[in-house]
Structure formats: structure tokens, C-alpha cells
Structure 1
Amino acid sequence: MKNVEALIDNPGDTIDQLVAGHRVAYGLARPFYHDPEIYRRDMERVFRRHWHCVAHESIIPNANDFEVFHIDTEQVIITRAADGAIHAILNVCRHRGAEVCTKQKGNARVFVCPYHAWTYGNDGSLRAARLMPKDFRREDHGLKTLHVRVVEGLIFISFAEVSLDFGEVEHLLHATCGQYGWANAKVAHRETYPVAANWKLAVENYVECYHCGPAHPEYSQTHALEQPLHMIEAMNDALEARTCALGIEVGSGNHWQTSREGREAIHAFRYALYEGVESGSEDGKAVAPLMGRFTDFDGGVTSIHLGGTTFLVCYPDHGMIYRFIPKTAETCEMELIWLVDGKAEEGKDFDLDRLTWLWKVTTAEDKAIIEHTARGVRSHYFVPGPIAPMEHNELRYIEWYLDEISHP
């Protein structure tokens, strides 16, 4: 990268020049991981354009249940109305902008702004605005609502005025998560990890397994993905027959596309566990009852990358939702959500410590690695190196990201 520091000192078209100067098959330059202007563009052209999974609908099982989600500077209230419909509304009063919901979660038919008592239904509609003139139209001042899709129990939201087409995503989620019974699953545990790093460092770490061998010995004992693809080709080929028998469709699962054509990006793939391994656990043994169509353990994992911030992992006995949440230019969060069969009972059908052990250990290791990297790339002497063959998903992600921030 030439004259990076000069570009930083001269705003204007700095970002576009950085994109144009990116070296193909290399990592991103230093400013992409700490520059506030790039972060703001990330928010406008990635986060406010794409779909994001925020939760599984089992977190709001009853009519009038709600929970507030924080993404960058936005607060989104996810509600279940009396008719069962799920809504996503911004926690911003249409009068003076105060937060209308002051609790993190609960059950409420209405939200009353603590400032001037404007009252909103849990679908966002304005129910009452005290002492306003007679010509005031309540229907014009409801809370801002976001696009919502619920597929196989997963709640997706989009901030875009016109949302990206979700058809390919919906089809592929039915063909993957649907076979694992996620629509009838429930949340067994959630854990949030604050990370002192730009959100892209966290995502780039997640999408490649080049680091798995040296950084994740626990994961690498059971998951063959820690090896180069050519070394586990035979294992993955053997898995293919079992994949077809279960009806899991990943053969046409690569729709990793930019938003230029108006469609959301999704990529699904399968990979093998080592011989005798049933699930993602400390000892490789099952940690919960089988889910969905599974009557036995098939020796594989289904992985799904969706929209740039959402990543899903499907084992026969449990599932994982991995959310990446931007906070500032140099901080983010990773939220992990563990799913089990909706009828499974903790203490009887599964032990929570055993269920969560592997990904707690792995994510704690990831947090440390990402933060080591964040401190390193702050150096004025940092120059990005070449992407290794095992980092092919990272390379694809970087190319996708650069295209996304290149067009309004």
C-alpha cells in the first residue's frame, strides 16, 4: 500500500483511494481497522444494508414479550405482539428522541416514553400523545419499524429502506437449519464477549481455520476443518452421501454475492468431524438429544455464513448462532447462542457446562487472538501480508467487504 499515512491526513476521497490501492490476495491496510470514517462507512454500507440475525424467537415465547438489542448507536426492540407476530422497532421516541423502553427485556403491551408519556403499542404504533393539538395525526408518528423475517426460528432484521432480496437465504436455511429442527429449538444459553478490536478483525478470524491448529487445540482434536482441504477431501467426500440422505442441501449453497444485484449473501457448506466424533464437545461425544431429522450422528457439521455478520453452526444435537456486533471503530462484541431441541430439559437431557464447553474455550481463545492482532495493527509500521491458501474464506470476505463499501 503506497502513501497510506498521507491518505489518512487528507480526508475526502481517502477511503475510495484506500480501496483502489488494496493489493489483491493480501490483507486489509491499517486504517480499515481503526479509522473512524471507515467505520462510519461500514455502518452505512454494510450494517444498514444487509440482514442480521439477532436471536432465536424462543427468547420471546409469549405474547407481549420483548428484548432490546444494541448495534453500534442503534437500539432495536424485538417484540412479539398479541397476535404472535414479531416486530422490530427502534427505541427512539418520535417526539424528542428519548428511549421509550428503559428495560433490557420483559413483557409489555405498550411502551410509555418516560419524557412526555407518548405511548406506543408493541408493534410501534403511536397509541396516545398527551395534550397535542386536534390536527395531530398519531398514525404519522409511530416508532420507526425495521424489516423482519423469521425463518426456522431465526429472527432477521434489516435497517435498509428497501431490503435485500431474502429468497435465496430463506431457501437455504430451510434446506440446512430446517433439517436440524431449528424451528422447534430453544435457546439453552447466551454469552456475550466484549472484544477490544474492530469488528472486521473478529469476523476475519472466524471465517478462516488456518489458525485453528496452533490456536485451538481443543477444537482441532475433533474438527477436521483444522487441516487443509486437500488433506480431508476423502473424509468430506464420505460425508456427502450422508448429507444427501438427510436432505441437507448445500450443493447449491454458495450465493456469496455482493448487494449490487439486490440479493443477500449466503454460503453453506459441510465438513467432517474426525472418526468417532459425534458432536462439538470436550470429548467429542453427544451433549444433548438429537434434533430435527437426525436419528443418529452423521460425523459432520453444517456451517452457514450469512450477510457479513451472522454465522451458524449445526451439529446433530445442538446449534450455534454466532453474532458479530460493532460498537465503535475499535470495539465490538461477539454473542454466542446455543440451541437445543425445544423439549430438552437442562439437568435431565443435557448438562449446560458440557454443552457450552468447547465454544466457550474456543471463543475465549479467539478473543485473545483478535485483541493481540488489534494491538499489532495499530502500529504505524504494520503492512498486511499475503493471504494463505487455508484463508480462502477470509480472502473472499475481504473482497466482498471492499466491494460493499465501494458503492453507495
Structure 2
Amino acid sequence: MGHIAEAVITETPDRIDRLVSEHRPGYGLARPFYHDPEIYQRDMERVFRRHWHCIAHESVIANVNDFEVFRIDTEQVIVTRAADGTVHAMLNVCRHRGAEVCTKPKGNARAFVCPYHAWTYGNDGNLKAARLMPKDFRREDHGLKKLHVRVVEGLIFISFAEDPLDFLEVENLLHATCGQYGWASAKVAHRESYPVDANWKLAVENYVECYHCGPAHPEYSQTHALEQPLHMIEALNEAMEARTCALGIEVGSGNHWQTSREGREAIHAFRYALYDGVESGSEDGKAVAPLMGRFSAFDGGVTSIHLGGTTFLVCYPDHGMIYRFIPKTAESCEMELIWLVDGKAEEGRDYDLSKLTWLWKVTTEEDKTIIEHTARGVRSHYFVPGPIAPMEQNELRYIDWYLDEIGRA
């Protein structure tokens, strides 16, 4: 009887798999996806440890031996620039007893010394010294756990996967988009983190749709035509593309939004117009910084990029935005915003930081409020997801993508 019972249990569908299979197409996610600790752990295993993530712009480690520590869920990642200029990413976990080897959030160091037993690692992750170990101990076998790293157009990407997803389509599209805006030679003007009392998916779902922009973001909606349905802004988009071409610039777009089934990373880049007379994303629609990259004038447009499920990029001709979504627990996350400007621009001379950051600070504070309203609502045992609206097509696509990812081991 014991063997029979065991066989029955083995064949019973996993509880999470059952929830995935019961999802109603065209509708939002059910309540457990936003608070269940077991689903959160599967998210970490099958989304965050499978896909690539933009973790920073490389200007944050501009000098040789610079480093910074980044946190995702329970993981700590040390990102460094070694003596030869190469960028490395490694886990902040000593290979002896697991202590944190880097105890400062950022700085400049050629080596990290574990405070527990003084094992010493170079900033490339290699173990340099281990006190009083036996003669047959091999230092080369005990370096810090290294992560895969790609640097494209100044953006540092990491992957926790042993065999990471193919990144070629991402690289090509980033060259065609961020490359035209000069992101490789940009610098970080400002960074700000927003703690959110909500599951990370509620934050991402909010970001990818603009159905809420009219009601929730009056400031954004005064300048960005994306708050209108696509058929209502086609003429604006056509005029934007004509201006871009007249500048001799071809900003790429492309839809490679795909699950990891084929072993490739997902990316989707698209363009949309600002309203007539608007130059950039700012309080009054006027420029807030010097033009970047190949732009010699404003084209009245924006390039938006969705990448790998957790990274979102916004390109204006005079500045750029990196949006990172960082899980903390099943019911909390963090949104980090990174503002980019031309690498030669100087604060106070070329841009006013308060004007540069105004729009996306206001918009993100509003997002934080509405996401937390939603998080409190979906905790209700009586919450039943409703149908996705036509203007939420990117959210619908994201939900389908997410369910496919966590539905596969």
C-alpha cells in the first residue's frame, strides 16, 4: 500500500502547476500569485535565476578597482572593474564558511578579505590567500562563485544561470536602440530606489500597461501620447518617425518577446510619440539635458525597451531611464530608477537635477501608491481577477510569458 500511495502522490499535479493550468486566458493572475511564498520561490528559480538582468550602467564602476554590491532577493552580487578594465560579477559568499566577503556597499578595492577567517579574494573573484590550509588545498578551486556578465552599450547584464540564455538578439537590438542614443558614453546622473509593499509582479504589470496612465498619471499624460489607444496616435507616430529619419538616424525596433523555450532571451523595443511641441519627458515638455548620441535635434519621440522580464529602458534624445524591478519577499519589492545623461554633461552647467528627475519621480511615486492599493486589494480572499483591457495588451503578453516560464522546470 505504501508503494501505491507514493505512486499516486507522484502523479498528482503540483499545486502551482495546477494554478497555472487553471488560469483563464485573457484575465489577470489569481490571488496566490501575488502573495504565496512557494510561488515566490518558484519565481526566483524560474524567472530570476533563468533570465538576464540589467544591474547597472557601467559608469557606476568607472575606475579600475571600483566595486558595488547589488541585492536581489537573498542574493548579494559584487560587481567590479578589475585591473585590466574588465567587468566581473560574483556572489558575496565566502567559499569557506559562507560569510560576506565584501562588507561595504561600494568603493574601490583590489581585494576583498573575509572578516571571518581572512580568506582573501582578488576583485576578479579568484582566491589569493587562505590562511593555514593544508598543502594539498587548491586556491584555484575555491574562488568566489562568478556570474555570467555582458556589457552592451554601457549596460551591465548578469545571469545566475549555469548555461545562460542566448543574448545575441538582445545585443543587436540594444545597439540599434540605446546605441543611437549614445548610452555607451553616458553616465549616471541620479539613482533612486522606491520600496514597494507588493509582490514584484504587481509592479511590473503596472509598468507595462498605460491603460492606467490617464487616471493615475496626469503629469505624464500631458506630454506622452502613449496614454492614448494606438489607433489614436498613429498620425503622431508617423510624424515622429519622419523627423527621426530626417535627422539621418534609424532607431531600431523589434519584437523578440519570447519565452526561454528556445534558449533565447526576450526583448521588445518599440517607439511612440510625444505630443506636438514636446521635446522630452519633463514637467513642461522642454529639454532637460544636452542631446545624446547621434541626435542633433529633438524628434518628438521615445524609444521603450522591455527586456528579460525585469528590466525596462526609456530613451529620450537628451536623457535615458533604466527601470529595475527587484524582488525582496513574496509581498515586497523595490523599484530602482537610474537617470542617464551624456558623459560630458555637468550638473549645474548642462542640467538641473531637479528638472531632470521631476517627471519620473512624480510618476513613480504615483505608481508606488497605486501598486500598494492593488496589493492590499488582492489580499482579499474574495478577489477574482477581471478581464484584461485592449490597452493592457503588453500586460496580457507579460502574464502569458510569466506563466509559461514558471510552468516549466
Same fold at TM > 0.5: yes
Q: How big is the shift at 1:235? A: 0.9
Q: How big is the shift at 1:234? A: 1.1
Partner of 1:357: 358
- Alignment partners' CA distance in 2, 1:93 and 1:242: 54
SS in 1 for 2:265: coil
- Indicate the percent of aligned positions where both proteins have the same amino acid: 86
- Alignment partners' CA distance in 2, 1:361 and 1:276: 21
- Alignment partners' CA distance in 2, 1:240 and 1:354: 27
How do 1:101-120 and structure 2 match up within 5 A?
Answer: 101-120=102-121
Partner of 1:387: 388
- Does the 8 Å contact 1:50/1:160 carry over to 2? yes
* One-letter amino acid matched to 1:153: G
Does residue 248 of the first structure (1) align with residue 251 of the second (2)?
yes
- Alignment partners' CA distance in 2, 1:401 and 1:277: 35
* One-letter amino acid matched to 1:246: I
Count of residue correspondences:
396
Partner of 1:164: 165
Name segments (4+ residues, structure 1) moved above 6 Å: none
- Alignment partners' CA distance in 2, 1:188 and 1:175: 23
Cα displacement string for residues 56-110 of structure 1 (whole angstroms, at most 9, x for unaligned residues)? 0000111000000000000000000000000001000000000000000000000
Does residue 239 of the first structure (1) align with residue 240 of the second (2)?
yes
- Does the 8 Å contact 1:281/1:357 carry over to 2? yes
Q: How big is the shift at 1:197? A: 0.1
- Alignment partners' CA distance in 2, 1:18 and 1:405: 11
Does residue 54 of the first structure (1) align with residue 55 of the second (2)?
yes
Q: How big is the shift at 1:179? A: 0.2
Partner of 1:182: 183
- Alignment partners' CA distance in 1, 2:141 and 2:183: 38
* One-letter amino acid matched to 1:284: G
- Alignment partners' CA distance in 1, 2:193 and 2:391: 28
Q: How big is the shift at 1:246? A: 1.1
How do 1:8-407 and structure 2 match up within 5 A?
Answer: 13-244=14-245, 245-250=248-253, 253-407=254-408
Q: How big is the shift at 1:237? A: 1.8
* One-letter amino acid matched to 2:100: E
Q: How big is the shift at 1:12? A: 6.9
- Alignment partners' CA distance in 2, 1:243 and 1:316: 10
Cα displacement string for residues 181-207 of structure 1 (whole angstroms, at most 9, x for unaligned residues)? 000000000000000000000000000
Cα displacement string for residues 218-252 of structure 1 (whole angstroms, at most 9, x for unaligned residues)? 000000000111111111122223344412111xx
- Alignment partners' CA distance in 2, 1:12 and 1:79: 44
- Alignment partners' CA distance in 1, 2:241 and 2:45: 39
- Alignment partners' CA distance in 1, 2:224 and 2:173: 23
Query: TM-score, with normalisation over the residues of structure 1?
Result: 0.96
- Does the 8 Å contact 1:56/1:153 carry over to 2? yes
- Alignment partners' CA distance in 1, 2:164 and 2:89: 14
- Alignment partners' CA distance in 2, 1:160 and 1:361: 36
- Does the 8 Å contact 1:243/1:249 carry over to 2? no
- Does the 8 Å contact 1:165/1:262 carry over to 2? yes
- Does the 8 Å contact 1:273/1:300 carry over to 2? yes
SS in 2 for 1:183: helix
* One-letter amino acid matched to 1:41: R
Q: Which residues of structure 1 form unaligned runs of 5+? A: 1-10
Query: TM-score, with normalisation over the residues of structure 2?
Result: 0.96
SS in 2 for 1:246: coil
Partner of 1:5: none
- Alignment partners' CA distance in 2, 1:90 and 1:37: 24
- Alignment partners' CA distance in 2, 1:350 and 1:234: 32
- Does the 8 Å contact 1:246/1:293 carry over to 2? yes
Q: Kindly report the root-mean-square deviation, in angstroms, between the aligned alpha carbons of the 2 structures.
A: 0.8
- Alignment partners' CA distance in 1, 2:102 and 2:252: 41
SS in 2 for 1:335: strand
Partner of 1:8: none
- Alignment partners' CA distance in 1, 2:222 and 2:240: 18
Q: How big is the shift at 1:278? A: 0.2
* One-letter amino acid matched to 1:14: R
- Does the 8 Å contact 1:193/1:367 carry over to 2? yes
* One-letter amino acid matched to 2:359: L
- Alignment partners' CA distance in 1, 2:340 and 2:63: 18
Q: How big is the shift at 1:327? A: 0.3
- Alignment partners' CA distance in 2, 1:185 and 1:282: 22
Q: Which residues of structure 2 form unaligned runs of 5+? A: 1-11
* One-letter amino acid matched to 2:250: G
